[in-house]
Amino acid sequence: MSAVYINSASCISVQDTLNENFLQNLKPENSVKMIKAIEPNYKEFIPPAMIRRMSKTVKMSSVASHHALKEAGIEQPDAIIVGTGMGCSQDSEKFLKNVIDNHEEFLTPTFFIQSTHNTVAGQIALGLQCHAYNFTYVNTSSSLEFSFLDAQLQISDGEAENILVGSTDEQTDRTMELYCLNNTIKHEGQLPADHLNSTTKGVIWGEGASFFVVGKDKTENSYAKLTDIKISNRLELDETKSFIQEFLTENNLSAQDIDAVILGFSSDASSDVYYTNAMGLFADSALLYYKHLSGEFNTASGFSTFMACHILKEQQIPEVMMINEKKKEEVKNVLLYNHLAGSDHSLVLLERA
């Protein structure tokens, strides 16, 4: 399968990533259980009458996709592909609450219609009046990676030239309560969290939306070449290194050829051991982490992809992301490794465009 290019990148996250100077203003957060996204002024992008009917994830995605298309100079993408772990859970909760409160009678269908996972991709298409291929992937932490794979296939098969690919997830009250109850999210007594040397289970939860325009051809503004992706639903701890080495071999690379590795350390002691194990392969690479900046959530890899794009384009690694002191003169190859609670392991190889 031929490589494709990431020609634009936009992100709404718990950092001020819509700001041009965001790399200089990254602020770690490890002392609260949940971190909210910094939202833009939606009235600048969405008519006020529509804003009231949109959930947070739809609003974030509408703005992030708008920025991505504008930066790429694309008015109509040839396809829209979105990955999400939880979908429009805000409207799902509202619908279920209505079911209970109204004893399953006299229900309005609005919240149900807007609660489906493909609402985001559909709303973006409606806004653009885009009738092209429209698809949503719901594969927990590898949702974005499957979306990228689909985009690669579409472009390799000649079905499309420029594709809008995105990922999005939001926080909702009831779901966060349940995550606290089952210890997915850390308790107050476990804070502040140490993302690299944690001895406790659970994570700090975040949210956000990241969108990219993936194209067949390299442009003047290209961020990176998306070379390859590998996904494994289950992985034993002792298989981590071979999983990565096989992926590098398939791309005619060795560990020494990787200039930077971005790892998804989440402060969950039981699952971060995979990343610690992987670090042993890359003695000469810059080792980076990011979930102390974004929080953990199903599609947090969208934030790491966004950061990797800027690192490759600007040839600048933010100090706040560094695990070790290694820095190469040129950052050419970046490897992204992510999973969620030890499941759905993904590798993404990006190359300087």
What pLDDT is recorded for position 38?
A: 96
Q: Are 242 and 282 in contact (CB under 8 A)?
A: no
| pLDDT beyond 80 at 111 | no
pLDDT tens digit string along 16-35?
A: 999 989 999 999 999 999 99
What are the structure tokens assigned to 169, written together?
Answer: 């997830």
Q: Bigger pLDDT: 111 or 261?
A: 261
User: If pLDDT is split at 50, 70 and 90, which confidence band does 110 have?
Assistant: confident
d(CA 163, CA 125): 12
What pLDDT is recorded for position 249?
A: 98
What pLDDT is recorded for position 37?
A: 97
pLDDT tens digit string along 146-187?
A: 999 999 999 999 999 999 999 999 999 889 999 999 999 999
Closest CA to 17 of 223, 259, 302, 298: 302
What pLDDT is recorded for position 95?
A: 78
What pLDDT is recorded for position 29?
A: 93
What pLDDT is recorded for position 116?
A: 82
Mean pLDDT on 39-51: 90
Give the torsion sign (CA, 65, 67, 72, 74).
Answer: positive
- CA 271 → CA 14, 195, 265, distances in Å? 23, 12, 9
For each of the domains in the chain, give its residue range(s) and CATH number, in order of start.
Answer: 4-215 (3.40.47.10), 225-352 (3.40.47.10)
Q: Are 282 and 258 in contact (CB under 8 A)?
A: yes
Kind plus residue range of the DSSP H or E element containing 198: none
| pLDDT beyond 90 at 103 | no
pLDDT tens digit string along 269-318?
A: 999 999 999 999 999 999 999 999 999 999 999 999 999 999 999 999 99
Q: Are 217 and 226 in contact (CB under 8 A)?
A: no
Q: Out of 74-78, 112-116, 136-140, pick the least confident.
A: 112-116
pLDDT tens digit string along 211-267?
A: 999 999 999 999 999 999 999 999 999 999 999 999 999 999 999 999 999 999 999
Cα angle for residues 324, 32, 261 (degrees, 5° grid): 25
What are the structure tokens assigned to 277, written together?
Answer: 């194990």
What pLDDT is recorded for position 114?
A: 74
Q: Residue 78 phi/psi, 5° resolution?
A: -80, -10
What pLDDT is recorded for position 243?
A: 98
What pLDDT is recorded for position 266?
A: 97
pLDDT tens digit string along 49-80?
A: 888 888 899 999 999 999 999 999 999 999 99
